[in-house]
Structures are given as structure tokens and as C-alpha cells.
Chains A and B, each alone.
Chain A
Amino acid sequence: MLIDTLQALAAGLLVGGTYGLMCVGLGIIFGVMRVVNFAHGDFMMLGMYAAYYLVTGFGVLAFLGPYAGPIVGAVLAGPIVFAVGWLLHRFLIAQVTGARVVTAEAEGHYAQIILTLGIALVLANGSLILFGSQPVSVQTPLSRQSWEVGEILLNQARTVAFVLAILCTVLLYLFMARTTLGKALRAAADNPIAAAYVGVDVDKCHRFAFGLGVGITAVAGGLIASTQSFQPYIGFDFVIVMYAGVVLGGLGSILGAFWGGLTIGVVQQMSTLILPYQLQNTAIFVVFLLIVFFRPSGIFGRVTERT
């Protein structure tokens, strides 16, 4: 029993690391733009397929060998999806976000939620058309090997993904904290109007943040692609996972989002100790609902309205 618990905890931490990275990506978009991006899970799915086609499908990265290839593929999924996100923001999402709707706050939110839902439907079903419904995964020998720590087994692919996820999160944290661009992003998040007055191009910041957010999540997707099989509809399963993490970690905090995702991973794996395997996502939904109900103060940011 103890071993089972420790094993589930270890698995939860490993899975949670990549969840954490996903949540960081969503947290940037939510934090900087205050936009609920419903399509976020589908951008992650795009990252998975980007890694898959780079490594296994077209075999562009085959020369790197079975170990380095999947890792490089996952990292390269970032810039590819960044470009997709940047373009979608430029032509679609910018129409309902940023300076245009800064005055019409609530109405802007509805438009954003629904527009990104439309994008989600197009991405998921468009991917079904392009990539087919057959589940695939990125082939690497790591996913079949484990390291043994005492009696605990650590899947090598997941461990590598975990380490890379932490590395990316740290790099991103440093980028936001230290660089001028990162500071501009945070300024645009805090107060878009004031940021515009002091010369920050808010729309440009939002576009970059959107690309960055989906790109980061795509890297996480690329890492997961070598640990499990996936199909074009996988995005919807992860949307709630990601929102649960971001909300748990508190709005606008990058490290908070990471810890939130990590916790969700642990909850998911630990739930298999008491619940049937099929219900692990239901466990996450329940946790998500509990978080939203009992910790709304960290969610709304501003609770009292000025009357």
C-alpha cells in the first residue's frame, strides 16, 4: 500500500511537471490578456502533432537518433505553434481583445470566450481532417524504460519531460522577471491603459503573449506526445486540467500556475488509488469545481465593484 502510494505520488509529480508547464502557458495568456482561451488545449494538441510529424511522421529529426530526436521535436513544437498563435491573434483574436474592448469589459469577455470556442472547434476538427482519427504517439525507447529508485519505478520519458518542463518554466520566469520585453508584458497585464500611456504597445504585447502562451503549452504537448498516444480531440480533455491548475495557482502568477498544474497531476494520479482508472479525469473536474467554489478570491482579482 505504501509503495503504491509512493508510486502514485511519483507518477503524479512527473505528470504534474508537464501539466505545470501547460498551465504556465495558459497562465501567461490569462494573466497578460485576461482572455479565457478555450482553444488552449487544441494548441497543445497542435504541439503534439508538430512533434509527432517532426520525429516520427516525416522523420525530419530522425538523424538525431531515438533519444535526442523526441526532445528536440518537443522543443521545436514551441516556435511552430507560436507562429500559429501569433497569426490567429493578429487576424482573429485581436478583434475582440486589447485596446478595442478595454471599455466594454464584460461584453468583451463573452466575445472572447465564444470566439476561442469557435477556434477550438476548427482546430480540433480540422486536425481530424488533416491528421486522421487514428491515435498516434512519438516513438522513443525512453517511454518503455524505467529508472528504479528503491522500489519506485520512474518512467524515463516522463522523467525527461519533467526535467525539461522545469527548465522551461525557470527560463520563462527569468524572461518575465529580467528582460525588458518581459517587463513590458507584465505592465500590459497590470494596467493596459497606463502601459499604453508610457509607450508600451499593448496590442503587440498581447500578440506576443498569446504566441508565447500557446508555444509554451505546445512544448508541454510535445513532451507528453512521447509518453501517451493522442488523437485530435485530446485538447478538450486538457482544457479543464489547465484551467484547474491556473485557477489553483492564482491569476497572473507564472510560478503559481506551475505549482497549480503540478498539484493537479498529483491529484489525478493519486485518484487512481481509490477511484477506477476511467474516472481520473472526473476527479480533476471535481477538484476544479471545488477550487472555483472555495477559492474565488484568488480568481476574480477584484471582488468588490465600485458603486
Chain B
Amino acid sequence: MRRRGATAHTIAIALFAGAYLLLGLIVSNSYYQLIMTLVLLWATMGLAWNMLSGYSGLISFGHAVFFGLGGYTMTIAFVKFGVTPWFGIPLGVVVGVLAGIVIGLATFRLRGHYFALAMLAYPLAMLYVFEWLGYQEVTLPMMRDEPARYAQFADSRVYMALALALMVVCMLVSHKVERSRFGKSLLAIKQNEPAAEAAGIDALSWKMRAMMVSAAMAAAAGGLYAVVLLVVTPQSMFGMLVSAQALVVSLFGGVGVLWGPVIGAVILVPLAETLHAELAHIVPGIQGVVYGVAIIIIMLSAPDGIYWRIHDRIAVRRAKPYPPFPSLAFPPPQAGEHWVGAEGSSTSARVHGAAGAPLLVLDGVGRAFGGLKAVDDASLTVVEGMIHGIIGPNGAGKTTLFNVINGFLRPNAGRISFAGSNLVSLKPHAVCRLGIGRTFQVVRAFPRMTVLENVIVGAYVHAATDAEAERNAYVALARVGLADAQAHAMAGTLTTKQLRLMELARALASRPRLLLLDETLAGLGHDELVDMLAIIRQVNREGVTIVIIEHTMHAMVKLAERFSVLDHGRLIAEGPPAEVVKNPAVIEAYLGRKWMDRAQDTLA
């Protein structure tokens, strides 16, 4: 099914390219040929922008910096050193990618507004630098003796074919990315970066790769653009309109999908060029106005672009039957099968009170926010194979403790070790790779992905191939009982219980030895709670150690074998539940006398 979908896209790309080429060969007017070439170049620029901003959600206002570097590298190599564009354009791509790495290293620290603004500054700074260097207007010299060697063709249809080839390559690359874990990881980062990190996605590394691919595409487009137009100016290569054009064709056509920039360029570029040619001598700037108006209309009426508008409409008309759940493709998980395979110790037969080896050890861990000590000198040992409950009043530092363990926060003091490895200063995705999965107090889903895709994202960290990730995701979904009807539902449409189960499955898909569950029972009805407890117990029985934060005491007393009680960031008690709940300090800080009176008989 998926393979066939992939082929359909490739065929569509081939058909589009063939039809475009045919049209280009028929058109004899050289001005129309130029416009057809420009459509392709701006579509490529749009694909470049989409590669970074469309998939990862980091809006770039500065793609002109790569376009300009590509164009100027080719031009300067040609003019100063007589290097042919056949070599100059790849050289420009290299320069563009290097710039992408430098810019990425500096700028990925920023998010949202600040990323967009910082990206804006790069091409504008370059614009002034190139003006200052004296490259106001550089013309490519005519090489009448060896036109083919210097990519100077009398027949402008050759340029069109070159631009088409470049765009098709970029479309195929985009297609490959969309289908692979590369694209899925970027989408996950776009929709919820902390969740993606916690699920084992190395966000920085994927963003950097996206930036490099994106920069390469933009630089190639810039180089070919300069070859076609035979002249570069700082304004035409680094100007605001270049960056805006890349963004506009993508937004107009559709964000985050390879057809978007192509649709946008096919519609907008001829429109703006024609207006420019017909009216520029009467009304200069008409091109900018058209683009501006297009942006405004699109943002107000179809913020995701034309492609998604049509896509959604078709999707509603014929709701696709989902592929059947491939339950026979792999053996169903056996009860008691160890989750992590051979490397884990076989503590799967859970015996109450039996002490296994220490798995997670916190030693004097502290974390302060300004003067507030959210976690203060916490020492804690979680024994392998156990369900370890963490209780305490609101604001006691329970979630902060999880954030310190899984790498969202760095502790100010203390040591954390997991199965012998140090966790301090590891990033969340690295912690996940070591075998710690987590869920969140407020569920962090990727709302615009299906349940299965959400879980697949969690499976990447320990899956060699994408097929294996999918298989592991199905297994994880089967374990929490979400494998059937809901697997292809959008995560945004789920109930609280389904969301919590999905998040649990996502954590399980990374094959953890230890699960950190943050208020997994919150907001569930009585029956749902019973189901959830059964699933958590089952997961534990299969060998996953569990640390759970929870307020629902009656459930916790039954579930956990050991309690740690946090109050004001300090651990005030630890031990078996029956002991801990009788501890006067715990009653004082958290449970209250009434609870004690009522619970007396249940615990007896």
C-alpha cells in the first residue's frame, strides 16, 4: 500500500515533468520560455524553503542568503577565474551548504520569532558586504567560441530543460525525505519538539540536515538563475524579494508538501512576471504588491495553502479505507517476553518485595529556579523490575524531578546514573536512547499525525530501518490495545484515555528499560482507570521498570511497590506503601488525617 503510494508520486512527478517539457519545446517565444524557466527556478527555491521551514516549522525569512551565495560563487568563479558554470554551480552549492552549517549552528538555538528575525539579518548583512566589495552589478562574459562549455546556449529551451532537471531532482529528494524518518522526525519536531526529543528524536541533528539540504537546493537555484539571467546584483540575489518569493510560493501552494511550492510557482510567477512586464514602466513595484496581496489573502483564507485545501476537500469526499492491520506480519508478543530483548536482566517474574539490581540511582540531585529549590538534595534508588510511585503535594517538584532525569533540565547538583551510565548533561534524545521513556502530565501528542505515526516516531531510536520502526510501533500499539480502529485516526481527535495510551505506546516503542509516567491516570473515569492500571501492570510484568507520579492514592497504593514522597523539593519518606502512608510527616505534608482515617481498613 505504502509502496504503491510512493510509486504514484514518482509517476506524477514524471508526468508533470514530461508535460512541462513538451509545453516548453512547443513554445517558441523566447520571453515565454524565460518565464517558464523562472517558474521552475522559483519552484526549486520554494522546495528549498519547504525543506527547512515547511517540514520543521522553523520559518526562515533569509533563504536569499543561500540563493545569493550560490549565484555569486558561480559568477565570481566565472568572471575572475574563468571557471565554467558546470563546475561553478556545484561550487556554489558547497559554499551554500557550508553557510547553512554555520548559520544553523548559530541560529538553531532560537525559536519562533527570533529564528525568523535572525534569518532575515543574514542576507541583508551579505547584501551590504557584496555592495561594499564592489559587486554592484557583475555580468557574465559572453563565450562565443565554446558556448556549451560555459553553459551559454542560443536556444533558451536548454535553460528550461536544465531548470526542469534541477526542480525534478529537488522534488524527488523532497519526496524521499517526506517518506522517510527524516521527514517524519521533522514533522514531529514541528508539532511538539519536547515530545519528539523525549521520544528519542535528535532535533538539532535533523534540523541541521534539513538546513543543509535546503541550502544546497537554494544555492543551486541561485547559481542557475545567474546563468540564465547573465547578471547578478546584490538586490537581485540577496534582496528581501528573493526570500519572500521562496516563502510565498510555498505558502500559497501548500506548506510541508512537495507539490506546494510547485503549484505556487506555476500560478504566481507567470502572474507577477506578466504584470511586471506589462505594467512595470507605468506602475513600478506591481510585482511586490501582487505578492503581498497574495500572502495576505492566503493567510486569511487558506493558511495552509491551496494543496491542503483541495486535499482536505477530496479527503472528505472519499474517505479512504485504511490498510488492514498487518497482525500476521510478525509474531504477537508473548506474555513475559522481555521488552528489551537479550540485554535486559530477567526480572520479569515480578515478586513483591524482592530486591533486584538498582537501575536508576539519584544521588544528592538538586535543581533550583532562581531562589526556588524545586528539587533539593534528592537521593533515590529505583530497583529494576519495580513499580516505583512518587507522590507529594502540587508543586513538590515531582515533574521537575522527571525533567532532570530525562534531560529537559540540567541538575545544579548531584549525580544521576542509569544502568551504570551517567545521565547528567545528556540531552533528552540521548537519555531515551539509553532506555528511558516518558509520558507527560499534559499529553504531548503530534496532533496532526495519525496514532500510528505518533508511535512510529518513538520507534525510530532503536529501529535500523523504517519498516522495523513501523513494526515496532504496531507491537507497541497492540500492547496498549490501540492497534485496531484508532491506529489511523488523527491524534488530535482522540479522547483523554486514548491519548494517554498513545503516549504510553510511543514511549514503549523506543523499547525502554525504564518508563517515567507523569500522572498517567489523571482525568480518567473509574473504568478507564482500571484498564490503564491493568496495562501498566502488564507492561511492568514484561520487564519494564516503572516510575510513576500520581495523585490518585487508592490506585497508587495498589499499583506501586515502593513510594517516595516529595515535599518542597525534598524527599521526606521512602518505603513500601503501607509504611509510607502511616508516616506522620507524609500525612502532615500530603495525605491529611481524613484520608488516613478512611484508608485504615483498606490497608489493614
Contacts and interface: CB of A to CB of B under 8 A. Distances in A.
B128 A282 contact: yes
A133 interface: yes
Interface stretch (A166-174, A256-264, A286-294): A286-294
Question: For chain B, which range describes its interface: under 10, 10 to 19, 20 to 34, or 35 or more residues?
Answer: 35 or more
Contacts of B501: none
A118 B295 contact: yes
Given A115-B299, A121-B295, A128 B288 contact: yes
Given A279-B132, A285-B124, A292-B117, A118 B285 contact: no
B411 to A, nearest CB: 14
A133 B284 contact: yes
B300 interface: yes
Given A114-B247, A119-B296, A307-B408, A129 B117 contact: no
A292 B285 contact: no
B114 interface: yes
B229 interface: no
Interface string B322-366: 000000000000000000000000000000000000000000000
**What DSSP secondary structure best describes chain B's contact surface?**
helix
B59 interface: yes
Contact of A36 (B117, B129, B244, B369): B117
B420 interface: no
Contacts of A86: none
Contacts of B283: 129
A122 B131 contact: no
A175 B309 CA distance: 46
Contacts of A128: 284-285, 288
A117 interface: yes
A214 interface: no
A270 interface: no
B277 interface: no
Interface in B91-131: 106, 109-114, 116-118, 120-122, 124-125, 128-129, 131
Interface in A19-62: 36
Contacts of B122: 285
A111 B468 CA distance: 37
Interface string A170-200: 0000000000000000000000000000000
Given A124-B288, A307-B440, A296 B114 contact: yes
A279 B289 CA distance: 29
Contacts of B131: 278
Question: For chain A, which range describes its interface: under 10, 10 to 19, 20 to 34, or 35 or more residues?
Answer: 35 or more
Interface in A91-114: 92, 95-96, 106, 109-111, 113-114
B240 A236 contact: yes
Interface in B112-156: 112-114, 116-118, 120-122, 124-125, 128-129, 131-132
A74 to B, nearest CB: 25
A129 B300 contact: no
B503 to A, nearest CB: 12
A205 B440 CA distance: 36
B292 A119 contact: yes
Of residues A293, A304, A307, which shows the largest number of chain B Cβ atoms within 10 Å of its Cβ? A307
B303 interface: yes
A261 to B, nearest CB: 16
Contacts of A129: 283-286, 289
A306 B443 CA distance: 11
A125 B286 contact: yes
A122 B294 CA distance: 10
Contacts of B399: 306-307
Contact of A299 (B114, B194, B284): B114
Closest 7 CB pairs of A and B: A118-B295, A125-B288, A121-B292, A128-B285, A125-B285, A122-B292, A285-B125
19 contacts: A36-B116, A111-B303, A113-B59, A115-B296, A115-B299, A117-B61, A118-B294, A122-B293, A129-B284, A240-B120, A282-B128, A286-B125, A289-B106, A293-B110, A299-B114, A306-B441, A307-B194, A307-B402, A307-B444
